[in-house]
Amino acid sequence: MNASVCHPAARLARTAALLVAAVAVIAGGPPTRAAEPSLADLQRQLAQLAASVQQLSEENRALREHQAQVDRQLAQLGAPATGAPAAPGAAAAAQAAVAANASALPAAAATAAPSSAGTPVSSSLGSLGGLRLWGYGELYYTHPVDEPAQTRMDLARAVFGIGYQFSDRTEFNSEYEVEHAVSSADDVGEFEVEQFYVDQRVSDAVTVRAGLFLMPFGFLNEHHEPTNFYGVQRNFVETLIIPSTWREGGFNLHGDTAGGFGWNVGVTTGFDLSKWDFQPEFPPYRTALELEDSDIAPLQASHQELALANARHLSQYVALSYYGVPGLTIGGAVSSGKAVAAGPGDPRVTLWEGHVRWTPGPFDFTALYARGTISDLAATNELFPGSPNPIPSSFYGYYLQGAWQAWEHGDYRLAPFARFERYNLGASWAGSSGPDIPTGLVPMSATPGDFGYWPKYQDRVWTVGANFYITPHVVLKADYQWFDENSNFKRYDLGLGLAF
């Protein structure tokens, strides 16, 4: 949840595009050898220029009106976008918009990429005396090519958010989610509170936040609206290594500096390893979709989500980002704290990540690396010899992604992308030589005759696909994924996502 800067950002994007086009027109299109322009050429160029200037001026007026509104809102909200220093560009856009600086335009272009509609557009709905509503949701169809029986279609999540502005200094935000459409004791879905916090702007430089809030790690965790990422499903690194949507209870301080740095430091609840399943009888997942939903990855399995969380040990984190250079975001974060143990020992969980995003022109490049470690597990794993799922001492993932704003027409926008990612849920082990995984065919479930292979816990995944935006708030997605190790996970996916 961030400040409502999407509309101005979109407009900035269009403005930027028009400006570039105008400049190109003035420059005579693609660079050519200097040739003597004829009078007719000059007149035509002048007419085009006049038309462009007219359009620009209209845009500018609308933009300025909106800017004023945003300024008012930001003054009220105390720049909440600064609570997310790792934000890809929305924070940059907010700052840039406030600065009303032409140099902010490339950054705005960056935000015109997926994140343009990722922030709640409460202003478009009108604020009912301080109350704000927003939401997002996504459906997908996933078809594992080699296992068509595992084809699924799902309403992955339907999320709504409620916020309230108590004063120009104090603000409340909350987000609620229904996963898999139907939530009950007998159904696969879940209803959960994803965020529930109060922000208190103590000064222009510092805001205090307390409650249940998203951890500022990576790109996706704080900006996981479907319009904010490429690909139908969230990427594996930011699902398995950084356990999006990762939220903890506690408090933090965050703010921005004039030099373009964002910072966020907090104390939160930690992880509970005592819930670890050392003895799954059947493979915990058999498709890529199940891998993401299985909660088998180390931090997925042990995060507490502030549900009667054990708070004997608290964790601390620091997150920093830099977005002073337009079109470039660099960020990193580290969290560390003791966890509830699963056996003898005193384990400490540490997760750190670093990410970069660069948006030159129509391109959007991102790279992220995340690594987690858990200490003092030898004695615990030694109690479970033969386990196919001991607790790993380290796990990591990274990805490289490139996207391209290929085509745009009015609200429609097509952005193909490609991504390579690697994840390893068991880079090292203590007290165990690794998971004791059956190599041959094994029963996959209690259904007789249902045989398959135990999946591998690390992989390299290639994804190609495209996001097609119908509006900045509604996106159709398609992608195809190949897996090196679990090659039977190969699949294509279609998706529909929206955010408002």
Partner 1 sequence: MWAWRAAGAAAAACALLNACGGGDGSGGTPPPPTGLSARALAGQALFFDKTLSASGQQSCGTCHVPARAFTADPATDHGLPVPLGGRSMDLPGFRNTPSLLYTRFTPAFFLDDDTPTGGFFRDGRASSLAVQAEQPFVSEFEMANQDAAEVSARLQASSATLQLFVAAFGTAVLSDPEATLAAIGSALAAFETEDPRFAPFSSKFDAWLDGQVALSSSEQNGLALFNNPGKGNCTACHPSVSQGYSSHPLFTDFTYDNIGVPRNWSIPANLPDPKSPVSGVPLDYLPAPLNVPADAEYAYYDLGLCGPFAPPANDPNPRPDLSHSSWLCGQFKVPTLRNVAITAPYFHNGALPTLHKLVQFYVTRDINNNTGNNPYAVPAGPGGNPYQAVGTFFLAAEGTPDLYQYNDLPVLWDGNVNVGETPYTLPTFAGGNAPTLTAAEIDDLVAFLCTLTDGFDPQNPGSYNVPAQCAPGAE
What residues line the site for partner 1 (CB under 8 A)? 186, 278-282, 344, 379, 383-388, 436-443, 445-451, 454
Query: What's the rounded Cα separation, in Å, for the pair 240 and 289?
Result: 12
Beta strands in 375-445 (DSSP E): 392-404, 407-409, 412-429, 441-443
Nearer of residues 203 and 447 to partner 1, judged by Cβ? 447
Nearer of residues 269 and 387 to partner 1, judged by Cβ? 387
Nearer of residues 290 and 408 to partner 1, judged by Cβ? 290
Cβ of residue 390: shortest distance to partner 1, in angstroms? Answer: 10
Cβ of residue 379: shortest distance to partner 1, in angstroms? Answer: 8
Nearer of residues 54 and 445 to partner 1, judged by Cβ? 445
Query: What's the rounded Cα separation, in Å, for the pair 322 and 99?
Result: 16
Instruction: From 457, 446, 177, select the one nearest 300 (Cα to Cα).
Output: 457
Cβ of residue 283: shortest distance to partner 1, in angstroms? Answer: 8
Nearer of residues 295 and 436 to partner 1, judged by Cβ? 436
Nearer of residues 388 and 497 to partner 1, judged by Cβ? 388
Backbone Cα Rg of the chain? 24
Cβ of residue 271: shortest distance to partner 1, in angstroms? Answer: 19
Query: What's the rounded Cα separation, in Å, for the pair 466 and 230?
Result: 7
Look-up of token digits 């949507």: 245
Cβ of residue 457: shortest distance to partner 1, in angstroms? Answer: 15
Look-up of token digits 């200490």: 375
Cβ of residue 258: shortest distance to partner 1, in angstroms? Answer: 55
Cβ of residue 17: shortest distance to partner 1, in angstroms? Answer: 56
Nearer of residues 44 and 275 to partner 1, judged by Cβ? 275
The 8 Å CB, 24+ separation contacts for 467-470 are 467/114, 467/230, 467/403, 467/414, 467/415, 467/417, 468/412, 468/413, 468/414, 468/415, 469/117, 469/227, 469/411, 469/412, 469/413, 469/414, 469/415, 470/411, 470/412
Look-up of token digits 């085009």: 48
Instruction: Give the 3-state secondary structure of residue 22.
Output: helix
**Please, are residues 425 and 388 in contact by the beta-carbon 8 Å criterion?**
no
Query: What's the rounded Cα separation, in Å, for the pair 43 and 472?
Result: 36
Cβ of residue 451: shortest distance to partner 1, in angstroms? Answer: 4
The H or E element containing residue 90 is helix 90-99
Nearer of residues 280 and 362 to partner 1, judged by Cβ? 280
